[in-house]
Amino acid sequence: MSGAAEVTIRYAREADLEAIQRIYNHEVATGTATWDEEPWPMEKRRTWFAEHDALCPLLVAEAGGRVVGFASLSKMSQKSGWRFTREDTIYLDPAWRGCGLGRRLLGELLQEAWRIGMHAVVATISSENSASIELHRSLGFEVVGTLRETGLKFGRRLSTTYMQLVRAEE
Ligand SMILES: CC(C)(COP(=O)(O)OP(=O)(O)OC[C@H]1O[C@@H](n2cnc3c(N)ncnc32)[C@H](O)[C@@H]1OP(=O)(O)O)[C@@H](O)C(=O)NCCC(=O)NCCS
């Protein structure tokens, strides 16, 4: 593993989907950051990729020609009144955690959110995921609520922490 400074952040391409699958499905199998319990098939990932247009950007972090993380914005709701709000997603290869890359990648994703005119970004986080809560806090997000015991994975009940960042007035 190297420092986050050696990593390039760019928009994702279809050729990145296998790496995105590797990173996400590892988390499905081993962790509670996602409450998916079955690995995503590639067909579902391709549909997800197609949904990430200019108003739902998808970024990857690349180091030495290898994708080591991804982050995206998606709609909180299909209802039109939600159009200035996005939910963020971020996953890193385990070897690249804890060295500042999450902060850099999420920071760039937030710049994308403001650039495309969004007003609020929401994070839906498993309450035991201290790394994600601290990552979001470090970029100005605040905890706005908890849903208790809304999930079950690996035989344990899990809660949801909602965090939110509203764009600062300019
Ligand atoms: C969550 C995740 C993206 C964080 O990225 P990261 O590169 O490890 O985090 P960073 O090194 O940029 O650290 C960001 C902040 O979080 C803190 N942090 C990082 N890992 C932590 C941990 N395990 N426990 C507590 N705080 C932690 C850092 O101290 C830093 O805070 P600071 O800026 O105030 O010092 C990464 O750990 C990951 O991919 N985890 C698995 C997937 C996941 O949980 N995704 C989020 C789903 S909601």
Compute, in angstroms, the gap from residue 105 CA to the centroid of ligand 1: 11
31 CA distance to ligand 1 centroid (A)? 14
CA dihedral 29, 70, 72, 47 (to 10 degrees): -60
- The rounded Å distance from CA 125 to ligand 1 centre is 12
Predicted TM-score (pTM) above 0.95: yes
What value does the mean pLDDT of the chain take?
96
Residues 99-122 have pLDDT tens digits of: 999 999 999 999 999 999 999 999
Average pLDDT over residues 159-163: 98
Nearest CA to ligand 1 atom 7: 102
At 38 the pLDDT is 98
- Whole-Å CA distances, 25 to 28, 39, 121: 5, 5, 25
Q: Which domains does the chain have, with CATH numbers?
A: 4-166 (3.40.630.30)
- Determine if ligand 1 sits within 6 Å of the CB of residue 100: yes
Q: How far apart are CA 156 and CA 150, in angstroms?
A: 11
Considering only CA atoms, which residue is closest to atom 26 of ligand 1? Answer: 131
- Segment 114-132 shows an average pLDDT of 98
CA of 150 to the centre of ligand 1 (A): 23
Q: In this structure, which residue's CA is closest to atom 22 in ligand 1? A: 131
Say yes or no: CB of residue 98 within 6 Å of ligand 1: yes
pLDDT for res 2: 54
Q: Residue 1: its pLDDT value, please?
A: 52
What per-residue confidence (pLDDT) applies to 89?
98
Q: What is the pLDDT of residue 169?
A: 80
